[in-house]
């Protein structure tokens, strides 16, 4: 597995990892490549062409804003969400963008940012993924200086057409425990008498050692392990802060659907019940799971600071289940949270490398479905489940998300996305409990269900995969 925990859990901004974070990263990379090639002073125009799902639902997912921000040299992890509106407004008012934050050029969106709603893939591209974007930089005479095509492949990940392998300067990492699927993960963990989280921790430590290089790479193993744990804690703190902001905020979400924020109202209602001593409902903690998941995804829909888990559209599932564990399980611990994230990342890596986490490629089963599977596995590990129970929980969770379409109304990550995260989080809790109460072998393996998910996604009609051309996105008009 080459996918790191810190690849799957990336701090960024909403509303979409594939339509906002990915295009912003691609735009920024293109802008910086012009600077690195010493071409900035020759650039007079940049044209951006969007294809497939990026063109069909890009406006609702803020792809246009993401491109402007990226060309100006902004990265999702570093940009201040509070500064986004004013930055975009300034670019639009002046009809100019400072490429890589340095070279100012004219940029008129009707002319320079084109949504090709009738083309699924960039013409002549070697790759066929429905989230394509092509950048072309030209000089004052119209001669092309640079043209590059990128694909936003889900979870904020991007790839460049025709470019394979490591990025320049990226170290090659040979992890101590190699696995390519769930069966190999269980085998290697059993061979060395390790839990899945310990396998993942060892691999993450090697990635961090390789990335730091030089004298820092000679740090004692325990210090490198603490760096990994510290990184996980930072992700966890960001998730908790996002949930708290979501539970505190009120009002209408942006985008034109006039969707009301509901997490605050629900949280206040639960607090009133608790204060009145209404503790008779044993399923009350699941109400909080709903609140946590919706709070995070309302923040995401508002363009706030979120963590891909593994995507923005599914960002509420994992924090909701982790918060359930920490606040409602009496024996929970900080170390249990570390196990939770390491284990869920191991499962997420299996989906990322053997299937897809892109709603535009395989539907929402690849987003909320994968998040549900990751959360179920993580919770099972945090609760002390054995490796085979972790694998079983992940399998159960995905088995009951198979075939889920991605049909956001108006191209906005609001309906059905916000409630869908709440349902995914609740399913994850149930899947974990079912697996922990089982013993012995089960009929369907995680590898089989991952393969099934991927093939189901490939068979799914494209209009049900983040295009807003079918499903709720089309039929809501009749309701």
Tokens 């209404």, located at residue: 278
d(CA 456, CA 105): 45
> Which H or E element spans position 307?
strand 305-307
How many CA atoms does the CB half-sphere of 276 hold within 13 Å? 8
User: How many angstroms separate the Cα of 210 from the Cα of each of 172, 188, 203, 238, 358?
Assistant: 8, 22, 11, 26, 29
Residue 468 token pair: 């807003």
Q: Tens digit of pLDDT per residue, the chain (479 long)?
A: 789 999 999 999 999 999 999 999 999 999 999 999 999 999 999 999 999 999 999 999 999 999 999 999 999 999 999 999 999 999 999 999 999 999 999 999 999 999 999 999 999 999 989 999 999 999 999 999 999 999 999 999 999 998 875 454 556 788 999 999 999 999 999 999 999 999 999 999 999 988 877 545 578 999 999 999 999 999 999 999 999 999 999 999 999 999 999 999 999 999 998 887 766 778 889 999 999 999 999 999 999 999 999 999 999 999 999 999 999 999 999 999 999 999 999 999 999 999 999 999 999 999 999 999 999 999 999 999 999 999 999 999 999 999 999 999 999 999 999 999 999 999 999 999 999 998 878 999 999 999 999 999 999 999 999 999 999 999 875 44
d(CA 147, CA 145): 7
Task: Decide the pairing of beta strands 113-116 and 45-51.
Answer: parallel
- Looking at residue 252, what DSSP letter applies? B
Q: Which domains does the chain have, with CATH numbers?
A: 17-160 (3.30.1330.90), 182-212+219-474 (no CATH)
What's the residue count for the chain? Answer: 479
The residues with which 135 forms a beta bridge, in sequence order, are: 48, 148
């Amino acid at each position: 597995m080459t996918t790191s925990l810190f690849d799957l859990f990336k701090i960024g901004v909403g509303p979409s990892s594939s339509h906002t974070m990915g295009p912003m990263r691609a735009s920024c990379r293109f802008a910086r490549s012009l600077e690195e090639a010493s071409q900035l002073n020759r650039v007079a125009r940049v044209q951006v062409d969007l294809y497939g799902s990026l063109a069909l639902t890009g406006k609702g997912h803020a792809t246009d804003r993401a491109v402007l921000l990226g060309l100006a040299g902004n990265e999702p992890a570093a940009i201040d969400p509070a500064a986004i509106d004013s930055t975009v407004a300034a670019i639009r008012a002046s009809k100019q963008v400072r490429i890589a934050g340095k070279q100012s050029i004219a940029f008129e969106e009707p002319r320079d940012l084109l949504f090709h709603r009738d083309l699924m893939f960039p013409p002549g591209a070697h790759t066929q993924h429905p989230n394509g974007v092509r950048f072309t930089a030209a000089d004052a005479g119209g001669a092309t200086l640079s043209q590059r095509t990128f694909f936003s492949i889900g979870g904020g990940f991007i790839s460049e057409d025709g470019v394979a392998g490591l990025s320049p300067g990226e170290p090659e990492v040979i992890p101590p425990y190699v696995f390519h699927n769930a069966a190999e993960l269980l085998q290697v963990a059993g061979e060395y008498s390790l839990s899945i989280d310990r396998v993942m921790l060892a691999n993450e430590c090697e990635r961090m050692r390789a990335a730091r290089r030089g004298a820092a790479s000679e740090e004692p193993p325990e210090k490198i392990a603490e760096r990994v744990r510290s990184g996980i804690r930072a992700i966890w703190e960001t998730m908790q802060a996002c949930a708290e902001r979501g539970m505190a905020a009120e009002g209408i979400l942006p985008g034109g659907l006039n969707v009301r924020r509901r997490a605050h109202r629900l949280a206040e209602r639960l607090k009133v019940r608790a204060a009145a001593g209404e503790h008779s409902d044993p399923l009350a903690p699941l109400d909080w799971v709903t609140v946590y998941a919706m709070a995070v995804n309302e923040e995401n829909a508002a363009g706030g600071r979120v963590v891909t888990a593994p995507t923005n559209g599914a960002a509420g599932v994992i924090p909701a289940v982790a918060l359930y564990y920490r606040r409602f399980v009496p024996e929970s611990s900080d170390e249990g949270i570390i196990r939770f994230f390491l284990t869920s990342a191991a499962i997420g890596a299996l989906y990322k490398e053997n299937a897809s986490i892109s709603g535009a490629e395989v539907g929402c089963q690849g987003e909320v479905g994968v998040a549900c599977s990751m959360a179920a596995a993580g919770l099972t590990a945090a609760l002390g489940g054995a490796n085979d129970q972790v694998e079983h929980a992940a399998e159960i969770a995905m088995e009951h998300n198979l075939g889920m379409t991605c049909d956001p109304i108006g191209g906005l990550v609001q309906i059905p996305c916000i409630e869908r995260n709440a349902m995914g989080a609740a399913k994850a809790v149930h899947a974990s409990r079912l697996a922990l109460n089982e013993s012995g072998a089960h009929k369907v393996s995680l590898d089989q269900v991952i393969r099934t998910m991927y093939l189901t996604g490939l068979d799914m009609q494209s209009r049900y995969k983040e295009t807003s051309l079918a499903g709720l996105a089309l039929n809501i008009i009749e309701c």
